A and B are shown apart, each in its own frame.
Chain A
Amino acid sequence: GQQVMQIPQYQHVQEGEDFTTYCNSSTTLSNIQWYKQRPGGHPVFLIQLVKSGEVKKQKRLTFQFGEAKKNSSLHITATQTTDVGTYFCAGRPASGSRLTFGEGTQLTVNP
């Protein structure tokens, strides 16, 4: 079955440093979504990428979808304490309706 892997599992940064998490799928995806889950909370949608090579930005967050539609990344510039949480990618296969979530990258930001 489809597998989605994320690295790193944990990332500790000083406030102001940049952060990147990487997501790789074992199969080609039709689209990929990113979610953020704060400690004790539930996943909250950030963005969806659909096109090969797509790049989208949300303020300090930059999302990329690979040319082969099998990998993606999330980059945060100049982290803030409000960025703390676990970031999940979730891929949807070319045929099918289910999302497969990665294990997530847990980000902690030291002030």
Chain B
Amino acid sequence: DTGVSQDPRHKITKRGQNVTFRCDPISEHNRLYWYRQTLGQGPEFLTYFQNEAQLEKSRLLSDRFSAERPKGSFSTLEIQRTEQGDSAMYLCASSFGGPSSYNEQFFGPGTRLTVL
């Protein structure tokens, strides 16, 4: 399967713990996005990478959230000191595009986080 993959698919943690999620995009895609989705809502933008550069970050993200894409391939999203409000589905998406062209995004299956 050459689609976007995410690991783990499910994560249950206790409040205050740190968690890290991984996303492997489609190999030739230069852009990678992280979203958060809660029940009954659309995906909410968190951050965006073009190759290894983090070009945009939502103001909704607190300092507890950090994302990296060190070699312009896979990406990790870390949440420190988790809170119950962080419980959600975390979606990764990738796409390919030039400087001013934005194409369809391919989504991964998501990581469902539950904070107890």
Q: Are B102 and A92 in contact (CB under 8 A)?
A: yes
Q: Are B48 and A98 in contact (CB under 8 A)?
A: yes
Q: Are B56 and A98 in contact (CB under 8 A)?
A: yes
Interface residues contributed by chain B, number (CB under 8 Å): 23
Q: Are A99 and B107 in contact (CB under 8 A)?
A: no
Indicate the size class of the contact surface on chain A: 20 to 34
Q: Are A99 and B55 in contact (CB under 8 A)?
A: no
Q: Residues of B contacting A33 with CB < 8 Å?
A: 104-105
B96 interfacial contact with A, CB 8 Å: no
With A42-B91, A42-B110, A43-B91 in contact, do A101 and B104 touch (Cβ < 8 Å)? no
In the assembled complex, the Cα of A43 lies from the Cα of B93 at a distance in Å of: 9
In the assembled complex, the Cα of A31 lies from the Cα of B33 at a distance in Å of: 18
Q: Are A103 and B42 in contact (CB under 8 A)?
A: yes
Give the contacting residue for A42; candidates B33, B58, B108; CB below 8 A.
Answer: B108
With A92-B102, A97-B55, A98-B48 in contact, do A104 and B107 touch (Cβ < 8 Å)? no
Give the contacting residue for B102; candidates A42, A43, A97, A101; CB below 8 A.
Answer: A97
Q: Are A43 and B103 in contact (CB under 8 A)?
A: no
Q: Taking beta carbons and an 8 Å cutoff, which residues of A are in contact with B?
A: 4, 31, 33, 41-45, 48, 88, 90, 92, 96-104
